[in-house]
Amino acid sequence: MKLVIYGVPCNHHADGTLPTSAELYHELGQNAHLKGWNMLDHPNWVKSALLNPSKTKSSFSFALHDMEGKLNQALCTPCYIFGKACKIKRTQSYIQHCQCERCFMLTHNTVECRCPTDYKRCGICSKLRHLQLEHKATHCPWLHPTIKCDCAPNCFNCRYQGLPTKGHYAFGDNCPLKKNMHHHGSALVPPLPQPQAQPTLAPLAAVTKPAPTFTSI
């Protein structure tokens, strides 16, 4: 679950640098309602904070593992960063491109993947223990007259769903399941302001209510 926290004071260090990931992480950890959460990646300032040193308030993103639906609580409870109440929102891009790059499932993204770190799955034949870059004709269930695989693209995610599988790979953006997810996501979620494109931050009192919780498809 990728989240963005808005309205964070840019407490620059004496040398002009922004607080580090570790410092942001520490600040997040000071919030009782976030304690014990599984942090999946380190907090990172949005680009505009890094590019514009005169900014006094900005945003940073981080990823949490949503346990027992505690996410909604995090979205409703003010989060204190450097003594200032900030607002957490989920990022929209997460819903539009939810595909795990490791196992190609459409139910979670790469940071949330529960597969072991040495897990390998081929996006071409869906077999384990090799990556698509390492895919060879010998991985295919039939004999190839050549060493190189010349199979037509087909998608194992669509196969599981009983959909036509030919003409694309599970990792391709042209997979109809991914296209559907894109529409599904944007239909249900009101567009969130993109942190990069936002010239000024909305006052905290005027923030919209949290986006509805998603059930995976």
State which amino acid sits at residue 116.
P
Instruction: Please give the span between the terminal C-alpha atoms of the chain, in angstroms, as a whole number.
Output: 16
What's the CA gap between 102 and 108, in Å, rounded?
Answer: 10
Closest to 96 in 3D by CA, of 172, 173, 185: 185
The one-character DSSP state at 166 is B
Quote the least distance from Cβ 177 to Zn ion, whole Å.
5
Quote the least distance from Cβ 54 to Zn ion, whole Å.
40
Instruction: Compute, in degrees rounded to 10, the torsion defined by CA atoms 58, 101, 160, 124.
Output: 150
Cβ distance to Zn ion smaller for residue 1 or 175: 175
Quote the least distance from Cβ 67 to Zn ion, whole Å.
17
Residues that bind Zn ion (CB under 5 A): 100, 102-103, 105, 113, 122, 124-125, 135, 139-140, 149, 151, 155, 157-158, 175
Break the chain down into helix, strand, coil percent, rounded to 5.
Answer: 25, 20, 55
**What 3-state DSSP class applies to 90?**
strand
What's the CA gap between 19 and 52, in Å, rounded?
Answer: 14
Quote the least distance from Cβ 193 to Zn ion, whole Å.
29
What's the CA gap between 217 and 211, in Å, rounded?
Answer: 17
**What 3-state DSSP class applies to 180?**
helix
Cβ distance to Zn ion smaller for residue 55 or 135: 135
Cβ distance to Zn ion smaller for residue 4 or 170: 170
Closest to 214 in 3D by CA, of 63, 71, 87, 5: 71
Cβ distance to Zn ion smaller for residue 2 or 102: 102
Quote the least distance from Cβ 75 to Zn ion, whole Å.
24
Cβ distance to Zn ion smaller for residue 145 or 199: 145
Cβ distance to Zn ion smaller for residue 48 or 132: 132
Quote the least distance from Cβ 172 to Zn ion, whole Å.
7
